[in-house]
């Protein structure tokens, strides 16, 4: 029986963009993408969104209502945009942990924040969202911006996040989503599949990673589906805030 179970697990597959890959291989494929683009990650974010990603992140952190002394986990924190904002809000008595599964992205975030003098209340941890290495009920707020769609098992990650969130704490998921403004979808699709890979090829010499980006966005759950997943993991009162016509959505939910 164990042999059959192992065979079934080996045959289990998931999506990597539009491609089907073995379940255990997705993490490695995602790692290749982010290791390839890490050094140009911030430049590409500015180019792809015309700088609007900074407004999305500021909006999210304003909605977080963090206070002095709060403990925050910036999951899939990458180059540290949310960590920087959270660090200012929680002050010297608070704590922010920037966690990312990718060592190259984590190093980019660490170097960037240290160079800016942000280190007194910030620490860095390489961690998988599906198996977070933190105590139960540890964080007042957990953020994950543009990272959940890359996780192999999103349901397991949300359960792991719920475990380490304090009662009374909150989860904030900022992620690409489904446009809700009539007529925006086709324009967004054309831009994503015709322009993004070309920009990626010119700036990072890696158009394939940005083809994956466009595909991964389309494979990610829409606003209502993700809301249901978050609530199924145990969180309550999940709010959905559509930004830029639904190209991006902010989900906020509480643990009671």
Instruction: Give whole-number Cα distances, 182 to 75, 112, 194, 239, in Å.
Output: 33, 39, 21, 22
Each residue's pLDDT tens digit, 170-228: 999 999 999 999 999 999 999 999 998 898 888 888 888 889 889 999 999 999 999 99
Q: Establish if 151 belongs to a structural domain.
A: yes
pLDDT bucket at 11, cuts 50 / 70 / 90: low
pLDDT of residue 200: 86
pLDDT of residue 39: 78
Q: Establish if 191 belongs to a structural domain.
A: no
Average pLDDT over residues 132-157: 97
Q: Establish if 158 belongs to a structural domain.
A: yes
Task: Please determine, for residue 99, whether its predicted confidence score (pLDDT) is greater than 90.
Answer: yes
Distance CA 128, CA 141 (A): 17
pLDDT of residue 17: 81
Q: Which of 23, 13, 35 is nearest to 102 (CA)?
A: 35
Task: Please determine, for residue 6, whether its predicted confidence score (pLDDT) is greater than 50.
Answer: no
* Pairing state between β 95-100 and 122-126: parallel
Q: What is the mean pLDDT of the chain?
A: 91
Helices (H), 50-169: 52-64, 81-90, 103-115, 154-164
Q: Establish if 22 belongs to a structural domain.
A: no
Q: Establish if 8 belongs to a structural domain.
A: no
pLDDT bucket at 4, cuts 50 / 70 / 90: very low
Which residue carries 């140009």 as its tokens?
40
CB 250 within 8 A of CB 240: yes
Looking up residue 97, the CATH number of its domain turns out to be 3.40.50.150
pLDDT of residue 102: 93
Domain of residue 138, residue span: 50-182+217-254
> Which one-letter DSSP state was computed for residue 141?
E
> Which one-letter DSSP state was computed for residue 150?
G
Distance CA 220, CA 209 (A): 16
Count of the separate structural domains present in the chain: 1
pLDDT bucket at 105, cuts 50 / 70 / 90: very high
Q: What is the pTM of this model?
A: 0.90
Q: Which of 223, 213, 216, 215 is nearest to 243 (CA)?
A: 223
Average pLDDT over residues 236-245: 97
Q: Which of 229, 225, 224, 231 is nearest to 255 (CA)?
A: 231
Q: Establish if 119 belongs to a structural domain.
A: yes
Q: Which long-range contacts (CB under 8 A, 24 or more apart) does 235-243 make?
A: 235/158, 235/162, 235/165, 235/171, 241/59, 241/63, 242/177, 242/180, 243/56, 243/59
Q: Establish if 169 belongs to a structural domain.
A: yes
Q: Establish if 236 belongs to a structural domain.
A: yes
Q: Is 100 helix (H, G, I), strand (E, B) or coil?
A: strand
pLDDT of residue 1: 44
């Amino acid at each position: 029986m164990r042999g059959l179970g192992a065979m079934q697990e080996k045959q289990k597959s998931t999506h990597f963009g539009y491609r089907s890959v073995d379940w255990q291989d997705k993490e490695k494929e995602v790692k290749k993408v982010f290791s390839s683009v890490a050094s140009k990650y911030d430049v590409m974010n500015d180019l792809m969104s015309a700088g609007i990603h900074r407004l999305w992140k500021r909006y999210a952190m304003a909605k977080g209502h963090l206070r002095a002394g709060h403990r925050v986990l910036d999951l899939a924190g990458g180059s540290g945009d949310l960590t920087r904002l959270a660090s200012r809000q929680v002050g010297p008595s608070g704590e922010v942990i920037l966690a990312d599964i990718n060592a190259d992205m984590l190093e980019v975030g660490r170097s960037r924040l240290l160079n800016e003098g942000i280190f007194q209340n910030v620490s860095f941890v390489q961690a998988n969202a599906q198996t977070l290495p933190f105590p139960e009920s540890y964080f007042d707020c957990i953020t994950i911006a543009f990272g959940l769609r890359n996780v192999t098992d999103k349901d397991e990650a949300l359960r792991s996040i719920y475990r380490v969130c304090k009662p009374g704490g909150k989860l904030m998921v900022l992620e690409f989503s489904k446009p809700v403004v009539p007529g925006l979808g086709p324009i967004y699709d054309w831009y994503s599949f015709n322009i993004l890979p070309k920009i990626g090829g010119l700036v990072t010499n890696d158009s394939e990673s940005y083809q994956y980006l466009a595909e991964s966005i389309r494979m990610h759950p829409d606003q209502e589906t993700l809301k249901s997943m978050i609530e199924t993991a145990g969180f309550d009162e999940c709010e959905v805030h559509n930004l830029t016509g639904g190209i991006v959505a902010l989900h906020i939910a509480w643990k009671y």
